[in-house]
Amino acid sequence: MSISTLIPRHVFGLKGDVRENIHYIDESTVLYPAGHNTVLYSTEQKIQKFIPGTVDTQGITAIAVSASRKFVAVAEKADKAIITIFDLHTLKRRKVLSSADTGSQEYVSIAFSPDGKIIAAQGGAPEWNLMLWIWEKSKVQSMAKSSNPQGNAIYQVSFNPQDSSILAVAGNQVIKLFRAAETSLKPLPAMLGKREPQNYQCHAWIPDEKDRIILGTDQGELLVVEGGEVRATLSSPAEGVGIEAILPYSKGFVVGGDGGLLSLYEKTEEKEYYKKSKTFTIENNIVKVKSLAISPSEEMLLCTLESNQIFLLGLSNSDILKSEEMNFELLSQSFHSQGVTGVDCCIRKPLVGTCSTDKTVRIWNHLDRNTELVKYFPEEAYSIAFHPSGLHILVGFADKLRLMNLLMDDIRAYKEFGIKACGECVFSHGGQYFAAVNGNTIQIYNWATCENIGNLRGHNGKVRSLFWSPDDTKLVSAGMDGAVYEWKLKDFKREKENVLK
């Protein structure tokens, strides 16, 4: 018997805690992680292709794309951290890398060498081992401990684009260079001399300079380092704003920081090497910029935020760089910035309703692949149910359960029920009834009159799931007490049960 598998059709969201989580594959294709998938999104056709995550792993932790844009490496957390390499043209898996010597359940940062033959993988706590893989042979070439004796966190590893035998790692009070020999990773003389160590949150090599690195700190300092020494300290995007991402491009580099700040730095002949030419703020998104990507033509800049949003900035027009207004737009639409607590599909329309701990209720159209409505509330919602007509929703809040109308541009409550923190509610298939969980009790209401027509009691623990029979004459409930009950709505009595002790 063949096992059918579920394949995603469209994913609304971004996994914002992944290192280097946005990449351009070509002018109109963007790669990013969402849930346990790596998504290739066509900006022209608005469609997605998917690279699924590995079964039995605990999520994606880092992504790297080769300089040729032919391969993507996806690191995932597991009992033994793994890296899977995929061909970006066929989306087929090429290799899986895993070693007992990683010394951690995850890789915090990975990078391809300039020729694409080696992958540098920075392991996480407690060992902080840096490993070089000859990935086509699934073989570890060399390994070294990259942290300091105190075991401080390392955030990022990268190859020198001019010399693939040189690597840099940066972390909390750690900045080190390594030279890769045939079977060993040799640390190079200490960088920055006697300078007081800082929290180096990110770094980037400047491609057309042999050994120039730009370092960004949590205090907003930008250091130009050459030959292991600080050659210049650049003016910060804003005072005290931590630097989270640095991206080189032909005119200089782009910096992303706290508070939704982006700054462009351009080359200059002066002793500072670079000067800040423009600073932008992403309006209404005062959160960290986590990652940056620039299109091959350098006309478009993408940035991902800690709040799981992806924004686009056009760089081609010189007038844009002179203007003071907001020039950012969302890549596709806004996503939930925190965990989703409830989801329900409409029976008669291609709509999905979700609620989240980010205090929003969102209505998505899965046919048009867009957002129909977003409503912000003063508190988070615990559950959501869609009326079959697609015109009403039920939302469970901390204080009350609210019945709401979906209008053209708003979601408006018109009836409230005294059920606190309702964790599960569901409409019947015909829409004439709805069931709502109130602690261990299930309350049945007539939708048209909003009258409580019956209560189902019997569970000894919280009720977690409800399901109506196709003809709406029965209701099945599952609870934390291990009990599954079938209820008859004619007399509100329990008809069948299955209890796991």
Containing 321, the helix (H) or strand (E) segment is: helix 318-322
- Give residue 319's pLDDT: 46
pLDDT at 147 over 90: no
Tell me if 96 sits within 8 A of 83, measured CB to CB: yes
**220 pLDDT tier (thresholds 50, 70, 90):** confident
**pTM, 2 dp:** 0.88
* One-letter amino acid of 158: S
Residue pair 75/86 in contact by the 8 Å Cβ criterion: no
Q: Using the predicted structure, report yes or no on whether residue 190 has a pLDDT greater than 60.
A: yes
For residue 233 the two structure tokens come to: 């300290």
Q: Whole-number mean pLDDT of the chain?
A: 89
The confidence score (pLDDT) of residue 494 equals: 84
pLDDT beyond 90 at 239: no
For residue 396, pLDDT beyond 50: yes
Give me the mean pLDDT over the 78-92 stretch: 93
Record the tokens describing residue 369, joined without a space: 């692949």
Residue 320: band (very low, low, confident or very high) from pLDDT cuts 50, 70, 90: low
Give 403-414 pLDDT, tens digit per residue.
Answer: 999 999 999 999
Torsions phi, psi for 57 (to 5 deg)? -105, 165
Nearest residue to 256 via CA among 202, 209, 298, 316:
202
In this predicted structure, what is the pLDDT of residue 37?
92
pLDDT at 326: 53
The confidence score (pLDDT) of residue 468 equals 93
What secondary structure does DSSP assign to 179-218, as a single string?
EE-SS-EEEPSPTTTTPPP-BEEEEEE-TTSSSEEEEEET
pLDDT digits (tens, 9 = 90+) for 148-159: 888 889 999 999
Confidence tier at 287 by pLDDT (50, 70, 90): confident
CB 305 within 8 A of CB 325: no
325 has a pLDDT exceeding 90: no
Q: Give the whole-angstrom CA distance, residue 410 versus residue 405.
A: 8
Q: Is a pLDDT exceeding 70 seen at residue 421?
A: yes
Bridge partners, residue 122, by sequence = 109, 130
Token couple for 21: 């989580």
Work out the pLDDT band at 273, boundaries 50, 70, 90. Answer: confident
Cβ atoms 357, 338 nearer than 8 A: yes
